[in-house]
Amino acid sequence: MQLKSLQNFFQNGLIGYYPKEEINTFFYRICEQHLEYKRIDVSLQSDTLITPETFEYFETIISRLLTYEPIQYILGTTSFFGLDFKVDPNVLIPRPETEELVAWILKQADSNQSLKILDIGTGSGCIAVSLAKHLANAEVFALDVSPAALEMAQYNAQQNAVQLNTIEANVLEWENSASQFDIIVSNPPYVRESEKERMAPNVLDHEPHLALFVENNNPLVFYQAIVALSKKALKKQGVLYFEINEYLGDETKALFSSNDFEDVQLKTDIFGKNRMMCASKR
C-alpha cells in the first residue's frame, strides 16, 4: 500500500465521526510523529510504500479514535505555548484558551523581577512550565492533589529544560507555610455537573473528571479556597489569575471584590467568552 492509499483508508475509516479537515489534521500529526513526515512530505512522497506494521499502527489508531479517545492521549503528546508536553488520561489536555491566560500573565509580569509563582492544580504543568520558560528570573511552584499529575509536570519541566518545585496537596485543605508569592494562577475544576450534557464525548468519556467537575450547589468552591489561601500566601500587590467558567463571570468577580482585592479584570477569550480573571491584593 502507498502512503496516499493509507490516507484514503484513514479518511474513510473516520468519516461521519469527525469533520474531514479534522481527520486530515489527525493523519498529518500521526505521520509526523510515527513516520517523521511533515505535511509537505506527505504530499511529495505520496507514492512511498508503507510497511504492514505501519498499516496496523494506523488501524489501531482508527479504532481508538472511533471511541472518541483524544488524539493527544493516543499519541501521548501535545503542543502548548510553543512547547511540547507529554499527556495521558491522568491530566487534562491543555486548551488554547489557557494559552491566552499564560500570555496575559506574561504581558503583565515584569520579566526582570525575581518572581515567585504558584500554579494551583497544575496537571500536565503546562502553565507552570510555560511561565518558567519565559520568565527566567521566576521561581515556579506547581501544586496538585494527584501524584501522577505531579510526576507528569516534573517530566515536562525536565523535557523543556526548566526548574519546577512540586507540591502534593489538596488546595481545599492545604495550609501554606511561610511562603509568599508574587503571582498565584489556577485553572481549577469549574464545570458544573449540570453542564455535562454540553460536553463532547472526547472530553466527557476520557479526560479526568477530578480536574473538570464541581457540584452544582457550590461551583466556586475552588475559587473560594484559593482566594482564602491568597490572604496569607499572596504578597501585597501580588496578582491572582484564574481561568473561569464562562457562565459564572459575575459571581467570580464578586468573590474577588468582597475579599480585599482590587483592579478586578474580567477578560474574554478569542471567542468572546468570559474566560479569565485577575485581581491585585490590596
- What is the residue whose three cell numbers read 464545570? 191
Q: Distance between CA 125 and CA 202 in Å, rounded?
A: 21
**Is the model's pLDDT at 99 over the cut of 90?**
yes
Q: What is the pTM of this model?
A: 0.93
- Tell whether the model's pLDDT for residue 257 goes beyond 90: no
Judge whether 77 and 85 are in contact, CB under 8 Å: yes
Which residue ranges make up each domain of the chain?
Answer: 3-66, 89-281
d(CA 13, CA 265): 46
pLDDT at 178: 64
Helices (H), the chain: 3-14, 20-30, 39-44, 52-65, 71-75, 96-108, 126-134, 147-159, 201-204, 221-233, 249-257
DSSP at 2 = B
- Among 132-141, 227-236, 252-261, name the most confident range: 132-141
Mean of pLDDT values over 245-257: 92
Measured at the alpha carbon of residue 70, what is the angle toward residues 243 and 196, in degrees to the nearest 5? 55
Burial string for 70-87 (b: 16+ CB within 10 Å, else e) reads: bbbbbbebbebbebebbb
* pLDDT above 70: percentage of residues in the chain: 99
- For the cut 90, the answer to whether the pLDDT of residue 83 exceeds it is yes
Cell of 268: 474574554
The CA distance from 44 to 48, in Å, is 9
- Compute the average pLDDT of residues 77-90: 97
Per-residue confidence (pLDDT) for residue 144, from 0 to 100: 97
Q: Does domain 89-281 have CATH number 3.30.70.260?
A: no
> Do the Cβ atoms of 34 and 53 come closer than 8 Å?
no
Rounded to 5 degrees, φ, ψ at 216 are -60, -35
* Separation of alpha carbons 27 and 222, rounded Å: 38
Q: Which residues contact 221 (CB under 8 A, 6 or more apart)?
A: 172, 214, 215
* Average pLDDT over the chain, rounded to an integer: 94
In whole angstroms, give the CA distance from residue 176 to residue 123: 19
User: pLDDT at position 177, please?
Assistant: 63
Give the DSSP H or E segment for 139: strand 139-144
- CA dist 98 and 223 (Å) reads 17
For residue 92, what are the CA distances in angstroms to 34, 95, 159, 164, 182?
23, 9, 18, 19, 26
Q: Read off the pLDDT of residues 171-220 as tens digits, 9 standing for 90 and up.
A: 999 887 667 999 999 999 999 999 988 899 899 999 999 899 999 999 99
Say how many residues make up the chain.
282
